[in-house]
C-alpha cells in the first residue's frame, strides 16, 4: 500500500484493511469542519473508499450538515423509509413497533451499491451507529477497483463492453418478500436502468467494476438467465475475502463510503439486540451532470 502519512497534516489516517478502508483520527464531526480538515477527509475518502470516524455525536441535523459538504443530499426513493421530520435521513433498525418496523428492517443483506437502480445513483453514504449489537451486524465492504484490476482478461473484455440492468422492483420481489409489496406508483417511479459494468471514477480516474447480486438483475442484451449467472459470477469474484473490509460497529461510529468504487452488505445479528442506524446519502453530481449533457438539458 502507498505511504500516505505525509499527505495528511490535519487528520490521522490509519488503514484498516489491505484492499480498502481507513480510520480517521482527531476529528469532531459535530462541528463545522475547517476547509483544510474537510479537504483531507475528502482526499482520504477518495483514497480508501470507506472511512471510519469513531466516538462521534451526530444528531440528524448535524449529520445532514456534515453530509451536505460532500454534495447534494438524496432522500430514499421510497417515501415510507424517510425520517418523518428529516426526509433526507433514513433510520434503519430491527426494532419492531407492533408488527411494523420503525425504519427499514432487513435491508441490504445482499451485496449492492446504494441507489444503483436510479439513473443518478448515490455518490456516497454516511451511516451512523446509534445502538449497535455487541456482536454481529457488521457491514462488509468490497473494493471494486481491486476486483476490476484482478479480472481475468477474457472477463475484462466482456465487462468493458457490457452494461448491467439494475432493477429495484425485481430486487424487492426477490429479496424482500416479507415487506408489503411496492405500490404501482412506487414501481412506476423506479423503472430498470442500465449502467456500464466498468465504471471510471470521475474523481480518481480509476476503473471499478459496477455490478451486484442485490440490484443487478441481468446483463443488457444477454438472455436473462445467462446474464444473471454472469452477474453472480462477477459479484462472487469481487467479494473474495482479499478484497474486503468488515466493519464491527460501536455506537458513535460514523462510516462514510464511496458507492462508485465498492459494494457493501449488512450481516445478520441476534434479534434480541437492538440496532438503530442513522443514514444519509449524497447524490452523484458527476453522474447527474453527465446525464444532463446527454439529454441536452441546461443545469439548474
Which one of ligand OGA, Mn ion, none is in contact with 277 (Cβ closer than 5 to 8 A by kind)?
A: ligand OGA
Q: Looking at residues 254 to 273 of the shown chain, list those that interact with ligand OGA (rule: CB under 6 A).
A: 264, 266
What distance in Å separates the CA atoms of residue 146 and residue 152, rounded to the nearest whole number?
12
Which residues in 116-268 belong to E strands, given as ranges?
122-131, 139-143, 163-166, 193-196, 198-200, 207-209, 216-219, 244-247, 254-258, 262-266
> Nearest approach, Cβ of 298 to Mn ion (angstroms)?
32
277 binds ligand OGA (CB under 6 A): yes
> Nearest approach, Cβ of 122 to Mn ion (angstroms)?
9
> Nearest approach, Cβ of 284 to ligand OGA (angstroms)?
15
Which is nearest to 48 in space by CA: 23, 82, 81, 80?
Answer: 23
In the β-sheet with 262-266, what is the strand arrangement from edge to edge? 244-247, 139-143, 262-266
> Nearest approach, Cβ of 18 to Mn ion (angstroms)?
23
211 binds ligand OGA (CB under 6 A): no
Looking at the Cβ atoms of 148 and 256, the one nearer to ligand OGA is 256
What distance in Å separates the CA atoms of residue 85 and residue 87, rounded to the nearest whole number?
6
Distance of CA 250 to the CA centre of its chain: 19
Cα–Cα–Cα angle for 278, 283, 284, nearest 5°?
Answer: 135
> Nearest approach, Cβ of 12 to ligand OGA (angstroms)?
25
> Nearest approach, Cβ of 3 to ligand OGA (angstroms)?
31
234 binds ligand OGA (CB under 6 A): no
Contact 279/91 with Cβ under 8 angstroms?
Answer: yes
Looking at the Cβ atoms of 108 and 252, the one nearer to Mn ion is 108
Contact 114/76 with Cβ under 8 angstroms?
Answer: no
Binding residue for ligand OGA, selected from 94, 101, 116, 125, defined by CB under 6 A: 125
Which is nearest to 276 in space by CA: 108, 128, 93, 138?
Answer: 93
Sign of CA dihedral 219, 222, 223, 225: negative
Sign of CA dihedral 247, 49, 8, 33: negative
Looking at the Cβ atoms of 219 and 277, the one nearer to ligand OGA is 277
Q: Looking at residues 133 to 162 of the shown chain, list those that interact with ligand OGA (rule: CB under 6 A).
A: 139
| Footprint of Mn ion (CB under 5 A) | 108, 114
Looking at the Cβ atoms of 162 and 264, the one nearer to ligand OGA is 264
Binding residue for ligand OGA, selected from 279, 280, 282, 283, defined by CB under 6 A: 279
Looking at the Cβ atoms of 209 and 266, the one nearer to ligand OGA is 266
Residue nearest ligand OGA, CB atom distance = 108
Distance of CA 234 to the CA centre of its chain: 18
123 binds ligand OGA (CB under 6 A): no
x/- map, 91-110, ligand OGA, by CB under 6 A:
-x---------------x--
**Which residues of this protein are in contact with ligand OGA, per CB under 6 A?**
92, 108, 114, 125, 127, 139, 264, 266, 277, 279
Amino acid at each position: 500500500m502507498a505511504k500516505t502519512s505525509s499527505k495528511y497534516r490535519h487528520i490521522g489516517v490509519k488503514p484498516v484493511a489491505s484492499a480498502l478502508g481507513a480510520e480517521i483520527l482527531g476529528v469532531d464531526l459535530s462541528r463545522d469542519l475547517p476547509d483544510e480538515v474537510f479537504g483531507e477527509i475528502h482526499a482520504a475518502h477518495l483514497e480508501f473508499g470507506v472511512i471510519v470516524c469513531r466516538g462521534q455525536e451526530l444528531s440528524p441535523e448535524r449529520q445532514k450538515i456534515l453530509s451536505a459538504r460532500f454534495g447534494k443530499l438524496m432522500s430514499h426513493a421510497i417515501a415510507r423509509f424517510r425520517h418523518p421530520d428529516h426526509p433526507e435521513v433514513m433510520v434503519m433498525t430491527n426494532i419492531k413497533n407492533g408488527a411494523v418496523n420503525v425504519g427499514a428492517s432487513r435491508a441490504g443483506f445482499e451485496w449492492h451499491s446504494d441507489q444503483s437502480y436510479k439513473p443518478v445513483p448515490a455518490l456516497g453514504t454516511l451511516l451512523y451507529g446509534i445502538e449497535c449489537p455487541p456482536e454481529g451486524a457488521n457491514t462488509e465492504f468490497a473494493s471494486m477497483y481491486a476486483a476490476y484490476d484482478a479480472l481475468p482478461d477474457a472477463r475484462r473484455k466482456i465487462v468493458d463492453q457490457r452494461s448491467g440492468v439494475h432493477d429495484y422492483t425485481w430486487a424487492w420481489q426477490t429479496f424482500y418478500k416479507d415487506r408489503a409489496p411496492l405500490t404501482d406508483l412506487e414501481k412506476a417511479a423506479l423503472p430498470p436502468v442500465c449502467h456500464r459494468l466498468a465504471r471510471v471514477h470521475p474523481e480518481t480516474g480509476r476503473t471499478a467494476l459496477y455490478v451486484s447480486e442485490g440490484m443487478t438483475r441481468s446483463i443488457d442484451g444477454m438472455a436473462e438467465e445467462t446474464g444473471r449467472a454472469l452477474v453472480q459470477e462477477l459479484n462472487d469474484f469481487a467479494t473474495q475475502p482479499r478484497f474486503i473490509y468488515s466493519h464491527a460497529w460501536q455506537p458513535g461510529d460514523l462510516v462514510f463510503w464511496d458507492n462508485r468504487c465498492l459494494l457493501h452488505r449488512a450481516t445478520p445479528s441476534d434479534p434480541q439486540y437492538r440496532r438503530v442506524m442513522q443514514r444519509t446519502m449524497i447524490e452523484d453530481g458527476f453522474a447527474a451532470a453527465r446525464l444532463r449533457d446527454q439529454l441536452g438539458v441546461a443545469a439548474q
